[in-house]
Amino acid sequence: MNVIETDGLGKRYRQTWALRDCRLTVPAGHVAALVGHNGAGKTTLLRILAGVVTPTAGTATVLGFTPGSQQARDAVSAIDQTVPLYRHLRVRDQLAAARELNDQWDTDLAIQRLSSLNLMTSGKVGKLSGGQQAQLALTLALARRPRLLLLDEPLASLDPLARQEVLGWLMTCVAEDGLSVVFSSHVIAELERVATYLVVLSQGRVQVAATIDSLLDSHLALTGPAADAGQLAGQVPVITAQRTGRQAQVLARTDTAPPGWAARPVTMEELVLGYLREPAARVLPRLEAAR
């Protein structure tokens, strides 16, 4: 089944479309990374999927449910960019409030996690550092035992060690509980290691939506004479081409190196940066039935 399905999804704020005509199908069991320029529509998309923003056009479903419906709220946890918490409460009251607001709650997980993070339950949430608040929000989100987790830049405020630890914890949840994750990220270096699905948004539209495996298999980094770079576009789909003097570096969507060009596999970083530089290029899933 698909954890996320959107069709023609759009959101307009006053005159500008934050999201336009988005079609996405993210299969279950994936850790999907959402990448794009600032203002490309990542936050809007995540908020629509979380059910806190109503779309202007199109439809979206999470785990087959309408975002914001009772079943969706039961099965989906979302942490917004602003890390919303009841900041005037003490940690233990915030914990208690979250417990009362949810039907499914793993108290042991929450307490264990908070004590392993050395978060004092008597402190005020507002007095915690940005990273600690993010940790608390994550604890609350996962104590609900969701099937899908939506994260909007949640790890940005964490120090490198904490980030590593949190990612490790998330990956364990993915391994053990079959959790699906959709997270927006600026840290491309992590993507290959952590994510299995990639969505690139550009100016409110979906530019890339595919599994990372298929992306790495279907692209090559070509090196060859600059003079031939122009012709290459006619032979293979070229994403980006950079000419320096006599040499050209090309990112192409092909699995065979054309004659006269040396090929090597692309790294995730090159691939993502290439597509970000070239908003017109697209990799979109064919219309397949969900598996």
Partner 1 sequence: MVTDKPDNFDDEVSPIAFYLDRGLGVPTYLQLVHQVDYALRLGFLRAGDQLPRIKDVTRSLAVNPDTVMKAYRELELRGIAAGRPGVGTFITQAPAVVGLKQMAALQKKLTTWLAEAAEAGVDELGMKALFTAALRDFSGGGAASRLPGRAEARREGGAA
Partner 2 sequence: MTARAIKAINVPRMARVTWYKHRASVFGIPSMFLLAAALLVIDSLLQRHWISSHHFTYCLAYGDNSTSSRCLTQDAPYQLGVFAEFVNYWRTEGTVVAVFLLAAGAGLFAGVPWVAREFDGGGFRFTWTQSVSPRRWLLGTFGLLTLLAATTAAICGVAAHWWFQVAQFRLDGGTTPWGWESFEMTPLSMVSWTLLAMALALLLGVTIRRVLPAMITFAVIFGGCLVLAQTWLSTLLFSVGDIPLRVNYVNPEYPSGSYVAQTWFARPGGPKLNPMTVYAQLPNVPQPQQVRWLTQHYLTEWIAYQPHSHLVWLAFARNGILVALTALAVLVSVWWLRKHPAE
Residue 204 interacts with partner 2 (CB under 8 A)?
Answer: no
Q: Among 7, 21, 80, 192, which residue sits at the site for partner 2 (rule: CB under 8 A)?
A: 80
Using CB under 8 A, count the residues that bind partner 1: 29
Smallest CA-to-CA distance from 199 within 68, 6, 1 is with 6
Binding mask 25-64 for partner 1 (x = CB under 8 A): ------x---------------------------------
The helix (run of H) or strand (run of E) holding residue 101 is helix 91-101
**What count of other Cβ atoms lies within 10 Å of the Cβ of residue 94?**
20
Q: Compute the distance between CA of residue 6 and CA of residue 122 in angstroms, rounded to an integer.
A: 42
Name the segment binding partner 1 (CB under 8 A); options: 9-17, 77-85, 98-106, 160-168. 160-168
Using CB under 8 A, count the residues that bind partner 2: 30
Q: What are the φ and ψ backbone dihedral angles of 232, each rounded to 5 degrees?
A: -55, -35
Q: Among 102, 240, 249, 267, which residue sits at the site for partner 1 (rule: CB under 8 A)?
A: 267
Name the segment binding partner 2 (CB under 8 A); options: 2-10, 73-81, 157-165, 199-207. 73-81
Q: Is residue 220 a contact partner of residue 254, using CB atoms and an 8 Å limit?
A: yes
Beta strand 197-202 with 31-36 is: parallel
Binding mask 105-144 for partner 1 (x = CB under 8 A): ----------------------------------------
Q: Among 54, 129, 242, 247, which residue sits at the site for partner 2 (rule: CB under 8 A)?
A: 54
- Sequence-separated (6 or more) residues with CB below 8 Å from residue 21: 8, 9, 10, 57, 58, 205
**What count of other Cβ atoms lies within 10 Å of the Cβ of residue 17?**
17
Using CB under 8 A as the criterion, which residues of the chain lie in contact with partner 2 when the complex forms?
Answer: 47, 50-54, 68, 70, 73-74, 76-78, 80, 82, 84-86, 89, 93-94, 96-98, 100-104, 144
